[in-house]
Amino acid sequence: MGEGLLSGRAAAGQRGSGLASPTELLFGDAGLVRRGGGLYLDGVSLTDIAREVGTPAYVYNAEAIRGRYRSLDGALASLPHRICFAVKANSNLAILRILKDLGAGVDIVSAGEMARALAAGFAPEQIVFSGVGKTADELRSAVRTGVGHLNVESREELELVGSIAEAEAVQVRVGIRVNPDVTTDTHPYISTGKSGIKFGVPTDQVIPAAEYILGHPRLELTTLAMHLGSQLVDTEPFRQGIGRLIDLVEGLRRAGITTLRVLDIGGGLGIRYTDERSMEPAEFAKAVVPLLAPTALKVYLEPGRFLVGSAGVLLTRVLYRKHSGGKEFVVVDAGMNDLVRPSHYQAYHEIVELEERGRPSGRADVVGPVCETGDFLALDRTLPGLEAGDALAVLGAGAYGFVMASNYNSRPRPPEVIVEGAKWWVAREREKVEDLFATEKLSP
Ligand SMILES: Cc1ncc(COP(=O)(O)O)c(C=O)c1O
């Protein structure tokens, strides 16, 4: 599942398709091709990009993102639906624009993400505002902007929305994010639909919350929502969660609440990081459409990782090799500040050479320059023989990659590059060292 698989394929689940090798499948998902020993993303040589923009650098394949969107959109064609991209997965404006042009909406969790979505050209109505800890300022700003709806996560937040709606004298469309108490087989840090965690309104509090909305002159309940967790490759949790939402829809209808228009089933569709299964749109649709169609509600989804995760790579370069304590280390120029997923979630990311050199392979830890033992991209990984100067691509880095990057160790964040067919362009420049302390003062 990409989480908890640091040392590789032995622990991974079954392969998604019969004949293709894991690397072929990963390459196919990303739009990567080997040509003359070199690695190409769509029509562009990654060696050229690494040389021209330097490393580390994130590179995204626009056409791969479009392909993912269309595959999900097509699989759900029989349902009235809207795919709201979860901006948290990758908030680069150019990525948002690609998805906007395909007809997507967005799912946001902060005023910062709202500003990005608006800057990328999304209409307020296409924005869903989720998140367990929205501030009063963020809620006010969303109400003034007129976002599509606000998914509230607690009674106190709901009452705050009510008072803001009154003060602003505007009607506000509200969704209740339900905690459906569904167990998911993913990393605990990204399992979000189980009882006892901070997200969502427990099912027994939903009808009282709906009645509060019904009795409020400025609020309208349009949506019931859930988000079960991230990197889900099994449809069963979705079936369970949707079942619980539908029970609540029926309960609300019995209570005379007839304003519901949307069932928001969240994101979480998982991708392939190694040779495990990924969530296939056709399989997903087969599981959820028969449950959702009879509700006659519009279905919203909030996928992030599924749309962009496979489409991105992180380019890095080998700085040194060292042998210590009986182990081999490959020290590269990308660290946990650039891609935190391996150290934070024990996530597995495939690492391949940009230029195949045919050197004998061996096992090594791929580690970054940051002063933490937890700073690694791969542990005990079989890799081709590498030397200082070799460039590498870390696959599956399009989601929760750059967005989780930090300046730890005063390291500027990498640039973000978009590949469009045979062309590429820098969608975000590499941060400069001066940017890091531009707002700091030496004294009062
Ligand atoms: C409310 C909500 N929606 C959607 C997502 C996107 O999840 P994913 O990238 O796994 O699709 C998240 C991720 O945390 C979320 O919290």
Interval 268-282 mean pLDDT: 94
pLDDT of residue 19: 65
CA 200 to centroid of ligand 1, rounded, Å:
13
Q: Could you give the C-alpha distances from 381 to 66, 221, 384, in angstroms and in order?
A: 32, 51, 10
- Predicted confidence (pLDDT) at residue 351 exceeds the cutoff of 60: yes
Ligand 1: does its nearest atom lie under 6 Å from the Cβ of 100?
no
pLDDT of residue 186: 76
CA 372 to centroid of ligand 1, rounded, Å:
28
- Which alpha helices (H) appear in 146-279, and where do they start and end? 155-168, 206-214, 236-254
- Predicted confidence (pLDDT) at residue 189 exceeds the cutoff of 90: no
Structure tokens at 271: 């991708």
Q: Could you give the C-alpha distances from 431 to 22, 55, 142, 435, 442, in angstroms and in order?
A: 34, 12, 29, 7, 21
Question: Among the atoms of ligand 1, which is closest to the Cα of residue 230?
Answer: 10
pLDDT of residue 12: 35
pLDDT of residue 195: 81
pLDDT digits 0-9 by tens, 133-163: 999 999 999 999 999 999 999 999 999 999 9
Ligand 1: does its nearest atom lie under 6 Å from the Cβ of 220?
no
Interval 372-399 mean pLDDT: 97
pLDDT of residue 194: 79
CA 87 to centroid of ligand 1, rounded, Å:
9
Is residue 82 within 8 A of residue 325, CB to CB? The reply is no
- Predicted confidence (pLDDT) at residue 16 exceeds the cutoff of 90: no
On average, the pLDDT of the chain sits at: 94
Q: What is the DSSP letter of 10?
A: G
Q: How many Cα atoms are found within 13 Å in the side-chain-facing hemisphere of 223?
A: 28
Q: Which of 276-280, 292-296, 353-357, 379-383 has the lowest mean pLDDT?
A: 276-280
Does residue 371 have an active-site annotation?
yes
Question: Among the atoms of ligand 1, which is closest to the Cα of residue 267?
Answer: 11
pLDDT of residue 106: 98
Q: How far is it, in rounded angstroms, from Cα 1 to Cα 348?
A: 8
Q: How far is it, in rounded angstroms, from Cα 401 to Cα 310?
A: 11
CA 302 to centroid of ligand 1, rounded, Å:
6
Interval 384-402 mean pLDDT: 98
DSSP codes joined into one string, 191-217: B-SSTTSSSSEEGGGHHHHHHHHHT-T
Is residue 57 within 8 A of residue 78, CB to CB? The reply is no
Interval 364-373 mean pLDDT: 97
Ligand 1: does its nearest atom lie under 6 Å from the Cβ of 401?
no
Ligand 1: does its nearest atom lie under 6 Å from the Cβ of 3?
no
Question: Among the atoms of ligand 1, which is closest to the Cα of residue 89?
Answer: 9
Question: Among the atoms of ligand 1, which is closest to the Cα of residue 305?
Answer: 9
pLDDT of residue 20: 80
Of 109, 192, 194, 227, best ligand 1 pocket probe by most atoms within 8 Å of the beta carbon: 227
What is the share, in percent, of the chain residues with pLDDT greater than 90? 89
pLDDT digits 0-9 by tens, 408-438: 999 999 999 999 999 999 999 999 999 999 9
Ligand 1: does its nearest atom lie under 6 Å from the Cβ of 56?
no
CA 192 to centroid of ligand 1, rounded, Å:
9
E strand or H helix at 141: helix 136-145
Q: Residue 197's pLDDT band (boundaries 50, 70, 90)?
A: confident
pLDDT digits 0-9 by tens, 39-66: 999 999 999 999 999 999 999 999 999 9
Ligand 1: does its nearest atom lie under 6 Å from the Cβ of 303?
yes
Residues 6+ apart with CB under 8 A from 3: 186, 187, 190, 231, 345, 346, 347, 348
Is residue 127 within 8 A of residue 146, CB to CB? The reply is no
- Predicted confidence (pLDDT) at residue 116 exceeds the cutoff of 80: yes
- Predicted confidence (pLDDT) at residue 13 exceeds the cutoff of 50: no
Interval 340-351 mean pLDDT: 96
Ligand 1: does its nearest atom lie under 6 Å from the Cβ of 86?
yes
- Predicted confidence (pLDDT) at residue 11 exceeds the cutoff of 50: no
Active-site pick, 10, 19, 169, 371: 371
CA 86 to centroid of ligand 1, rounded, Å:
6
pLDDT of residue 181: 86
CA 391 to centroid of ligand 1, rounded, Å:
32
User: Which has more confidence, 2 or 134?
Assistant: 134
pLDDT of residue 4: 45
Q: Which of 15-19, 341-345, 397-401 has the lowest mean pLDDT?
A: 15-19
Q: Residue 182's pLDDT band (boundaries 50, 70, 90)?
A: confident
pLDDT of residue 405: 98
Ligand 1: does its nearest atom lie under 6 Å from the Cβ of 227?
yes
- Predicted confidence (pLDDT) at residue 8 exceeds the cutoff of 70: no
Ligand 1: does its nearest atom lie under 6 Å from the Cβ of 184?
no
